[in-house]
Structure 1
Amino acid sequence: MRILITGGSGFIGRELVTLLRKQNDTIFVYTHKKQITNNLGFSNDISILQASDDFPDVDVIVNLAGESIAQKRLSQKRLNEILKSRLDTIDLLAEKYAENFPAHFLQASATGIYIDNCEQDEKGELANTVYADICKNIEKKANELKNEFQAAISILRIGVVVGDGGGLVENLKYLPTLHLIGGSNYIPYLKISDCAKAIKLIIEKKIQGNINLCSDHYLTANELLKLSSSSKHLTVPVPKFALKLDKRGELLLTNQRIFPATLKENGFVFDHF
């Protein structure tokens, strides 16, 4: 199978490229950071693409591209950049493949689209927060491709991804273990290896629609922070109001028990911690 992965130099993208290469798929990686990608150790048979290149015919696109939520403070300007970068990538792909759009398109979204304080699956109620609105706009744009190109669309509603080399672990590696005072709220999460395996399953079975990519084993914010921290000794208590000083911290204040019903229905087995 010929697969284009946008955002292939990112945390999830790197893991997915490595996994798909093991089954001899032909992989193309689109990135605007070609120099960084060249330093990641990708094998020579993986083609690195930039916007100015001609894009090859592919069977599947996995669109993970977009400005990182974690790298900078989330001002309104930054939130606009995060949304625009994702919408612009979808537009670019629609332009590049106007005459030969692939049969299957996978678009990254997030579990932040759901409301708090209840347990729900893919049929759950959507929130009206700034993060949910970003997800809704991205998903709407991706779903428009179904009518325009008659493509199968898979929306990947991804939780907090945990693993070495990126995500929450990377952000916490120089800090002591943080303990939220009253941090009994639940955070949707999954291991980086499970994230890549789930995407692989979605490609293989051509699973369409909204798909929750999060573990079926619920963790509280404090359990997740402890799991993600490299410090095994020093623990620092943090009041919840301190996280509200930066919108990125608010992502650890959600209270969501999101169930991956579609993955479970399709036989996915999680590799729990």
Structure 2
Amino acid sequence: MNILITGGTGFVGKHLATSLHEKRHHTYILTRSPSNYHNTENTTFISYEYPVEELPIIHGVINLAGESLFGYWSEKKKESILASRIEITEKLVDMMTNMNTKPEVFISGSAVGYYGISNDLIYTEATEEPGEDFLAKVSIKWEKTAKLAEDIGVRTVFTRFGVILGEEGALPYMSIPVKMFAGGKIGNGEQWMSWIHIEDVVNLIQFCLYNRNIDGPVNVTAPHPKRNKDFTKALAKVLKRPHWFTAPAPLIRLTTGEMSTLITKGQYVLPKKALDNNFQFSYPNLEEALRQIKQQKA
């Protein structure tokens, strides 16, 4: 298969491309600076201005691009977070529209932030009422834009990512205070963390790629969310460090702005669609996932 990917040089994209290559698929990586990369037998780097008519038949399009959520959420940062996702998604829909042979599937990124924030509710793909905070509004607009692909007959999937655990992403930042013997819960520690191991992310994206009966939202999370206090305790145990301290929520808000909601708030999200379709998680349990990542880095 020929797979067109945005965000292919990022954390998830690199892992996904490697897995696709192992299955002998060819990836076309859309990037703003293709000259910075070298093409290989399995990978071709192209710009967003690349002529669609010069592409071979593209079987699937996977959209992972967007401004990083990490950093202080100034108004300018928030505008960039939203605009980067919408503009790239619009570009992809336009490219697919101009392809003589349409892709079989469009898998577009989203976030569990779609559901908003709660310490009590359980969210699945059947949840219809979205949240009202900034990240929920971004996710709503992002999915609405991606949904335009359905109008040209392309099966469309919205992968709502939770906290992705691996050698990059959020985990290295979360590990710093623990490694410095200052680990502990954040705020009251009651906020839910819907997490998932990077290997399961890659496998679930491909599961959606191959299974024609899957469309719409798919929660890309492990089946056992954890409260922050339990997550940080498990992380401290795996890293063999104490779990003594509490990071005050006001301090987090002061240093990260509105982004603090990603840290001090959360949601309990279940991957019901994956489970109903018999997807097998390699790392359904948190401590096992954290140990594997630690061993891999050793």
With normalisation by structure 2, the TM-score equals 0.83
1:171 is matched with 173
Matched AA of 1:208: D
Check whether the contact 1:162–1:228 (CA below 8 A) recurs between aligned residues: no
Deviations 1:92-144 (A, max 9, x none): 22333332142210110000011323012111231111110000000001112
Quote the offset at 1:179 in angstroms.
Answer: 2.4
**1:185 to 1:174, Cα distance in 2 relative to 1, 3 A:** closer
Larger mean CA deviation between 26-35 and 54-63 belongs to: 26-35
Instruction: Report the AA paired with residue 237 of structure 1.
Output: T
1:184 has 2:186 as partner: no
Given that 1:3 and 1:28 are in contact with CA atoms closer than 8 Å, whether structure 2 keeps it comes out as: yes
Tell me what 1:118 maps to. 121
Question: 1:181 and 1:82, CA in 2 relative to 1: closer, same or farther beyond 3 A?
Answer: closer
Which sections of structure 1, spanning at least 5 residues, go unmatched? none
Distance 1:33-1:220 versus aligned 2 partners, 3 A rule:
farther
- Aligned-pair distance for 1:244? 2.0
How far, CA to CA, are the matches of 1:162 and 1:43 in structure 2? 28
**1:134-156 CA deviation, whole Å, 9 max, x = no partner?**
00000001112211x11111011
Question: Partners in 2 of 1:228 and 1:112 — Cα distance?
Answer: 23
Aligned-residue Cα RMSD (Å) equals 2.1
Q: Who is 1:214 aligned against?
A: 221
Unaligned runs of 5+ in 2: 289-298
Q: How far apart are 1:226 and its partner, in Å? A: 4.8
Residue aligning to 1:104:
105
> Contact 1:121/1:261 (CA < 8 Å) preserved in 2?
yes
* Residues 246-273 of structure 1 deviation map (CA, whole Å, 9 limit, x = unaligned): 2222212223211111100111111222
Please show how residues 110-259 of structure 1 align to structure 2 within 5 Å. 110-115=111-116, 116=118, 117-124=120-127, 125-147=129-151, 149-164=152-167, 166-176=168-178, 177-206=183-212, 207-226=214-233, 232-233=240-241, 235=243, 236-245=245-254, 246=256, 247-259=258-270
User: Which structure has greater helix proportion?
Assistant: 2
Aligned AA (1:224):
F
Q: One-letter code of the match for 2:103?
A: P
Q: Percent identity?
A: 23
Q: How many residues align?
A: 267
Tell which deviates more after alignment, 169-178 or 132-141.
169-178
TM-score (norm 1): 0.90
Q: Secondary structure at the match of 2:282?
A: coil
C-alpha distance after superposition, 1:208-240 (max 9, x if no partner): 111111010121113334556795325542112
